[in-house]
Structure 1
Amino acid sequence: MSSLSKFKKVAGFSAFAFAAMTAANSVNAANWRYAHEEYEGDVQDVFAYDFKEYIEDNSDHTIQVYRFGELGESDDIMGQTQSGILQFVNQSPGFTGSTIPEAQIFFIPYLLPTDFDTVVEFFNTSEAINEDFPELYAEEGLELLKMYPEGEMVVTLDEPATSPEDFNNKKIRVMTNPLLSETYEAFGATPTPLPWGEVYGALQTNMIQGQENPIFWIESGGLYEVSPNLIFTGHGWFTTAMMANKDFFDGLPESDQELIRKAADYAYEEIIDHIDGLADEALAKIQEASDEVTVTRLNEEQIQAFRERAPQVEEEFIEMTGESGKELLNQFKEDLKEVQNN
């Protein structure tokens, strides 16, 4: 056989092999669907696109991201994930708490500190976050990939407030979360569960007089336009969780499971950098956009008046969740104590 013939034969085999390999990769490649609860550029959206970037840079898979409202409200996207229509979902324990009662622990006021570095270290090292919660989510058909903080909770009202007495007779919107309702009852307000899509209009028409959210969400959602008095009560951080449908995840090859875990780790590291200083930037935008906004930061004495009402919320949490909730709360406190001591 001539050298040219040999070359053509080898080239032919190489081309065939390449075509076969490409076809195999195309067959194995998948388009995964991921929904979250926020708008373009918000924290969950940034996390989702960091996750998407890692997956698509390191595999033939693609990620389709759906933002708030594109597939419905928070309850809708969780149902779609549990039924397998979506592969990934990002949802706050504020909504997951109706399915996983222990997730409501994040709504016990004054449990989490508000110092950024302490909060981040807690999420990085907490046994409750990184070992206990994955087991609880797995029981509901969810593979918990990451829990992460988004920002300190800020209350907005129709007038400034510095004490629980100022919350009396105020209807404050809460997520559909029994423990969050208990918190605002303890603070003296009338908790009013509403889907997010109805909040702006309800504030505008005085159907409710307030709500709580991280400051970046108050800015991006324009809530300061209809609820201009911002009160920093220091009572907690907004936490969220990114998870997968467990049947989907368990059915993947180990290489894809590892890919997804690495992508979640990458997105987590990126989002921690992203939220550092985000609250100050959002507040500056709000103050630049509106002359009507007031900002009240409670001093330690004022905070203490709210903090004294927190134990009844802890008691309600234990009553709702039983022994498992009590053990989780104890672990939370141990984890926090260790971080604060360090």
Structure 2
Amino acid sequence: MRRKRFVSAALATLLALTMTACGGDSSTPTNDEGSGSDAGGTPEYTIKVGHTLQEDTPAHKAWLLFEEQVEANSEGRIAVELYPNSSLGTERVMFEACQMGTLEVAYGTTSVLANFDKNMEVLDLPFLFEDEATARAAITGELGTAAAANLGDIGLINLTYMENGIRHVTNSSHPINTPDDLRDLKIRTMENSIHMSSFTHLGASPTPMAFTELFTALQQGTVDGEENPLFLIQTSRFEEVQDYLSLTGHFYTAGIATINKAFFESLPEDLQTVVTEAADAAREEEYRLCDEQNATALEYLKTEMEVNEISPENRQLFVDATAPVYDEVRTEIGDELVDMALAAQAG
């Protein structure tokens, strides 16, 4: 596979300065959970984990569990530092930093990681999964393993998959029941070619921008709407600047934690096991929290927004409109992964 790096000297310098300003020195963690040395000594290793989400999201709570288990089970040999809320930059910047080794673990979405490894595109196919259970089984099974098989070529290892979730559309104009309702609406998307192509086929005007800019963009009318999982719509307070929530379920977005390959391989085998087992525990905790928070979020959002479901007949209109995206992905990554995804669709 062709090796890709999205790195520049300026970016490396900027990130180093950002991490220094944020207290990135391994002896001074930024979180409040302790120094990472239960025995009172100096840790042998430090794992910095960066992500863009708020502290009240399932992902951050799961990373707190990862921190707790790694520090306890390594008997203080590893300290973990958590950097939420985009404090180290965007997902793309953090994946780049993870490639360089200036950040040990970057947690983001497979949608953004697809800019580094095209095989990740298969996990973003539109209307691939109708429910989380089917998606989780596929992502943590054969499909997810195959999608991540080439990450080592760009200096990364898939530490674990987590979940961003099934995504739905909000906007300030009207309910979305059919693709025609999306026509000409400016919808913020992630910087992902599959997402942008899908919304283009649906008649919308996809507008990629950083998540940190989104609330203001919605407030000022720079974009008409956005698409995210239910818990993230609530925790981001989008109901304050959006009137309509349509349960389109157009993408399932997996979260992925990459760990720098050289760093991981530098750990003794017993510590590698500590890290991977803690990551697996964090994944299961995040799944549990996502289920709880999505259910709570939907009930809350129904009191703040006009919420509509999509009928099976109308859902098929969305599926048909985005069918050409599957051919586009086949051109990018070949038939094998796409066929594997379609086989996983049935559960």
TM-score (norm 1): 0.85
Which is richer in helix? 1
Confirm whether residue 119 of structure 1 aligns to residue 128 of structure 2.
no
* CA offsets 1:38-77 (integer angstroms, 9 cap, x no match): 0102122122111111101211121000012211221221
Counterpart pick for 1:320 among 294, 308, 332: 332
Q: Which amino acid aligns with 2:312?
A: E
Counterpart of 1:87? Answer: 104
Q: Paired residue for 1:138?
A: 152
Instruction: Look up the SS of the partner of 1:264 in the other structure.
Output: helix
User: In structure 2, do the counterparts of structure 1 residues 302 and 262 end up closer, same or farther at CA, with 3 Å as the change threshold?
Assistant: same
1:264-286 residue CA offsets vs partner (Å, 9 max, x unmatched): 11111212221223212012233
Q: Kindly report which structure 2 residues correspond to 1:165-314, keeping only aligned pairs within 5 A, or say none.
A: 165-288=180-303, 290=304, 293-314=305-326
* SS of the residue 2:116 aligns to: coil
Contact map agreement 2:187 2:206 (CA 8 A) in 1: yes
Q: Which runs of 5+ in 2 are unaligned?
A: 1-36
Q: Does 2:126 correspond to 1:109?
A: yes
Structure whose CA Rg is larger: 1
- Asked whether the 8 Å contact 2:124–2:194 carries over to 1, the reply is yes
* Distance in structure 1 (CA, Å) of the matches to 2:92 and 2:284: 27
Q: C-alpha separation between the residues in 2 aligned to 1:26 and 1:329?
A: 50
Q: Is the 8 A contact 1:50 1:267 kept in 2?
A: yes
Q: For residues 258 and 316 of structure 1, do their structure 2 counterparts lie closer, same or farther at Cα, with a shift above 3 Å needed?
A: same
Whole-angstrom distance in 2 between the partners of 1:179 and 1:235: 12
Alignment: residue pair count? 307
Q: Matched residues in 1 for 2:262 and 2:40: separation?
A: 23
1:318 corresponds to which letter in structure 2?
Answer: R
CA distance, structure 1, for counterparts of residue 148 and residue 201 of structure 2: 30
Gaps of 5+ in 1: 1-21
Rounded to whole Å, the distance in 2 between the matches of 1:268 and 1:233 is 25
Partner of 2:340: 331
Partner of 1:53: 68
TM-score (norm 2): 0.84
Deviation readout 1:114-136 (Å, 9 max, x if unpaired): 2x333333334x2121x313322
- The CA distance in 2 between the partners of 1:103 and 1:220, in whole Å, is 27
Shift of 1:27: 5.8
1:205 Cα offset (Å): 1.5
Percent identity over paired residues: 25
Q: 1:1-80 alignment to 2 at 5 Å?
A: 26=41, 29-59=44-74, 60=76, 61-80=78-97
Q: Is contact 1:234-1:303 (8 Å) kept?
A: no
Provide the C-alpha distance between the structure 1 equivalents of 2:183 and 2:322, rounded to a whole number of angstroms: 16
Q: Which residue is 2:113 aligned to?
A: 96
Question: RMSD of the TM alignment (CA)?
Answer: 1.9
Deviation at 1:150, TM superposition (A): 3.2
Describe the shift of the 1:162–1:217 C-alpha distance in structure 2 as closer, same or farther (beyond 3 A): same
Moved more, 218-227 or 146-155: 146-155
